[in-house]
Structure 1
């Protein structure tokens, strides 16, 4: 049984969350605003906090900041609640220290799963502390707890409904000594074009664009553009994401795309069964290195637009065209993997001869987060 503090100015939501958690055997304390909720947290030091974002007196971000700033409370898991239209809050919450978020309205099962995940993570951390008393290990765990928490991409795809905004914010002639390029394209595209009508294929592509666009937005992509059935994205270090380097954000985005495509595949299997279609999946390539942006001014309808160029971009675009052909879902060059060492689990390793390159690329399969 865990002690959980629930903070929400809406009495209905507060009652729903409290009743669901009490039925799971947890002890629940609740407050109708952030200030009262923070008082409960400081007095009782709960195992978990479930807090709304928009509240009078003190909003959820202020509560989160106060908790993270207090050495006695900093390790407390925090789940934020936000409404569907508050899309911009999701990324802000995750990059400022929230462990997870739920979008309203949410199902009781989603709440139970999110709470269970955070409490299980707490139990694993406690077991490690009892085995290893080394202060350096403890500091590393604390730092990790303050970085971006594990995201529930399947729930995110359901919640985010707004159209992907224009993301070509990169300025002409920008140059980055270190960036991570992500390129994802739809596998077996030729099979899908032959098996589906143009209307059916258009619906699938629209779902893909919405899912991957929202995922990349959440992880702070500097640049993104769609190319046919594929997506090209560039991650760079920036002031608002300095706690997590561009390589790790790109790797998390890649794994988020894998989760998003599972939902699309479930839709296909349910609504297009019996058509002989393969499983819906993406091939996601990651490569890190220098990237420059070239201005497209002067071309018809291209005023003010830019495009990323350079060997790093070209290698990512062609990685899955190389030999041997990779069946992996996420493939990353060793240059990209070096940026996420210890943060991801890797699988197979291969030397891939990429078209147009004299030397093969050393690449590894990324299976998930460590």
Structure 2
């Protein structure tokens, strides 16, 4: 498996991390301070470094800086271990060049997820490379060319029709241990609607939500539902999308929606320069976890309705509202980001309080896709 250098001055934490990682088959070189850890790293060139922030002789931030200055170790991913009291200072670590951090105390599963995310960077780059329709979809969103949309529809129509919930199948629920949920909403919709007439508003809705619906379809959404003035989409892995994981396709969809909103904002400014319309923008949230698509039957009127159920769905909608407050066009939970490490670029990171929930959600701003690795 992987060679990991661990720097942690607390014996109990050092033992826990070592035990968990060795159980997963990794080779772990553990030490109690950063100086010894750097000597190990320079001698062995590990696949990953895990470092506590507060250590004698050389702290975690200094370890990251030293690694980044060494050409032979500069690309080594680093995960920092931090206490709750130190979270406010973690911007220093991320700015210095840390790849991720975990707050102590942490669960073994959280450690495994963070380690796997860093070790799978190359796989994510390969998935990004295999997202062959990416450039074409970007062009379609920018130029809104109908013939490209028809091309994608022909290519994907058969696959979509096979997996799209029609309400005519059995009543059994579809349960997914891991799925990515996307929720997008227009925060100033009411203000824009107030200053447009019915036909103008209809054109606006068709432009944006038609594009949003098409984008989610093109990137293989398993389920799409309009929620008020927002759109909820669920992405899962299946036989038709196994080359690109669901989190990566959801992330690309989110970026496409933001790009489309900017084009519509320009259209509104050009078409109605005297209206003084509120800014047209969108805020998107991404979250990953267990989701169930359950079918509800209407005994009075007949028919069935598919409903996405799960804590991850509720958390995604709440996160979207907080993204608006933070001014982030796209907020993605760390659970989502760890599934696409190496394939996306992130900005600010924060522990976000969600209304009605006892635990905060660790999330970061998604700002773009990484460049695919060049083939040698």
TM-score, normalising length: structure 1:
0.58
Residues 323 and 354, structure 1, Cα contact 8 Å, conserved in 2: no
Partners of 2:367 and 2:323 lie apart in 1 by 21
Residues 323 and 329, structure 2, Cα contact 8 Å, conserved in 1: no
What is the SS of the residue equivalent to 1:187?
Answer: coil
Which one of 104, 115, 132 corresponds to residue 148 of structure 1? 132
Partners of 1:146 and 1:169 lie apart in 2 by 29
Judging changes above 3 Å, is the alpha-carbon distance between structure 1 residues 288 and 352 closer, same or farther for their aligned structure 2 residues?
same
Partner of 2:190: 190
Partner of 1:199: 199
Judging changes above 3 Å, is the alpha-carbon distance between structure 1 residues 322 and 306 closer, same or farther for their aligned structure 2 residues?
same
What is the SS of the residue equivalent to 1:180?
Answer: strand
Partners of 2:308 and 2:136 lie apart in 1 by 30
Partner of 2:280: 280
Residues 322 and 355, structure 1, Cα contact 8 Å, conserved in 2: no
What is the SS of the residue equivalent to 1:179?
Answer: strand
Judging changes above 3 Å, is the alpha-carbon distance between structure 1 residues 144 and 229 closer, same or farther for their aligned structure 2 residues?
closer
Residues 179 and 246, structure 2, Cα contact 8 Å, conserved in 1: yes
Partner of 1:297: 297
Partner of 2:145: 159
Partners of 1:314 and 1:273 lie apart in 2 by 38
Residues 127 and 245, structure 2, Cα contact 8 Å, conserved in 1: no
TM-score, normalising length: structure 2:
0.57
- Once the two structures are TM-superposed, the CA of residue 298 in structure 1 deviates from its matched residue by 2.1
Partner of 2:365: 365
Judging changes above 3 Å, is the alpha-carbon distance between structure 1 residues 299 and 191 closer, same or farther for their aligned structure 2 residues?
farther
What aligned pairs does 1:329-340 form with structure 2 within 5 A after superposition?
329-340=329-340
Partners of 1:254 and 1:221 lie apart in 2 by 12
Partners of 2:196 and 2:265 lie apart in 1 by 15
Judging changes above 3 Å, is the alpha-carbon distance between structure 1 residues 143 and 298 closer, same or farther for their aligned structure 2 residues?
closer
What is the SS of the residue equivalent to 2:326?
Answer: coil
Instruction: Answer 1 or 2: higher relative contact order, Cα 8 Å, separation at least 6.
Output: 2
1:349 aligns with 2:337: no
Partner of 2:40: none
Partners of 2:127 and 2:267 lie apart in 1 by 39
Deviation larger for 187-196 or 325-334: 187-196
Residues 154 and 260, structure 1, Cα contact 8 Å, conserved in 2: no
What aligned pairs does 1:102-117 form with structure 2 within 5 A after superposition?
none
- Once the two structures are TM-superposed, the CA of residue 244 in structure 1 deviates from its matched residue by 0.7
Judging changes above 3 Å, is the alpha-carbon distance between structure 1 residues 356 and 139 closer, same or farther for their aligned structure 2 residues?
closer
Q: How big is the alpha-carbon RMSD for the aligned residues of Structure 1 and Structure 2?
A: 3.0
Unaligned runs of 5+ in 1: 1-131
Residues 184 and 285, structure 1, Cα contact 8 Å, conserved in 2: yes
Partners of 1:324 and 1:224 lie apart in 2 by 22
Residues 323 and 331, structure 2, Cα contact 8 Å, conserved in 1: no
What is the SS of the residue equivalent to 1:331?
Answer: strand
Judging changes above 3 Å, is the alpha-carbon distance between structure 1 residues 312 and 169 closer, same or farther for their aligned structure 2 residues?
farther
